[in-house]
Structure 1
Amino acid sequence: MSKITNRFTVKQAYYPQTLPDKTEEFERLARETWVSEHRQDLEERRRREDAKNARIQASKEDKYLHAINLIIEHREAKDSPIYLGNGNDPTSFSIPYYFFNFEDHIKVRDLLEAFLFKLKNEGCFENFNRSPATPLGSSMIFHKINLSKLKEYRDRLIKEQKSNGNIQFQSGKRWTKRELGKELTRIKSIVRLGAKELNLLTILFDLNPHKIAELKGLGSREALKQLKHTVNIKIIKTTRWVIVHEGYGFNTASCYRLKFLTQPNNIR
């Protein structure tokens, strides 16, 4: 019987090297990168705000007249063959809020929107809205602009400013309690308001600032924002009243206040 010899080839066993856990290091680097980018964003935002404020202070043009001219300028620029050649609608476009001579503050933005409602009611455009905010700010979006109506309104505004001085959109009149009561009754008779809309307007008709926390009985913060927006749309059509938001965001110090827009009688 023959002897069978088994031959085995012995190979060295391989054990994979254990890699060090660098999760904490990666997380630290990610945090440092985020902090650095956030700091750069804040610095860029401050730089833009400083540049805008310097531009506003140096401007000799009324901010409302500047807003009209800005819209007209952008509308006329949309008639370029390149823009039209891409199938774009020249009557609908957006303008960054940064380009308007209104400070980046909620109550100042409310004044611009109140003025834009006036232009809308004059037929200068079909509608407008504000885009959601981005790190570089928001934009005002205009729909179906009527260029001839805009120019007519601008010419009328210039004429009135020359004869009566600049239009002022601020609380300049001193109202007595009795006058406020009569004015509220007058608004109720010409403006159709829902129950909550009327409640909000009645509360604010003392012309004092009311903190958001005081108004929570009318709904959540989002509901209050929508309620304010709806009331403004209704009352701005036939009155000179507007609800403005004072303060930043919806913190404990922010509030709503009703303001009267003083302007020449024949400028609506």
Structure 2
Amino acid sequence: MDKKVVLITGGSSGIGKSIGTYLTSKGYVVCGTTRNLEKYPDFDAFKLITLDVKDQQSVLDCVSEVVSLEGQLDILINNAGMGITGPIEETPHEEILNVFDTNFHGPVHMMKAVLPQMRKQGGGLIINITSIAGYMGLPFRGYYSATKGALGLVTEALRMETKSFGISITNLAPGDFATNIAAGRYHAPVLKDSAYEEVYQKSLDLMNEHVDAGGDPMEVARKVYAIIQQKKPKIHYPVGEFMQKVSLLLKKILPGKVYEKLLLNHYKL
């Protein structure tokens, strides 16, 4: 089979659907995933497969189905994820565990499931969709930042561990894009008479404005395609507005308190 086979987690909407649609137009064989296949009876952009990244058996079944259908699995794009907002102090612990299960443990389950197949084939590519938020602790998004930051560090470690197998692993960190992530995000409730009530509500409103005014997810899809064309992908790729990408450079070169002040001003805290 000449065409490369791509598996995209969270492929039914948003960034995942954009990536899948774009890669299909470029001649790739794309399998996307969703937790609730019955919700998409008319989905025809590419093949959809049932998957819950938090369920290890579901992960193994999904990878096995792709290999059985297509005979190979060349590229994994770990895109499935969820948002979470709230004060560090007031976010319920079960929700913290849930977001780590989805955004961190889920991609790890996927990588562990595809690596044996990629070794068998003599190579492969894994693209972990993290976030620019994973490079910094953002106020009232601290747990989201933590999940994406953790995945970015695992990406760095795993690409060194698997280099001798011909497997490339990279991290693609989007900024704000116009998707339905805000609708599916867990919001810790704004508690009346909480010490954080006013400032958290203001930050929540600002976050939603950023997502609503975000860029076209197809920009992420084009970046994924560009990465796939690279013989030796880099470790990290940011994608987003100019200032979002500049923020990563500033994080590296500015003193910690100066950078913190920029974030405080940005979020009007």
Given the two structures, how large is their TM-score scaled by the length of structure 2? 0.25
Given the two structures, how large is their TM-score scaled by the length of structure 1? 0.25
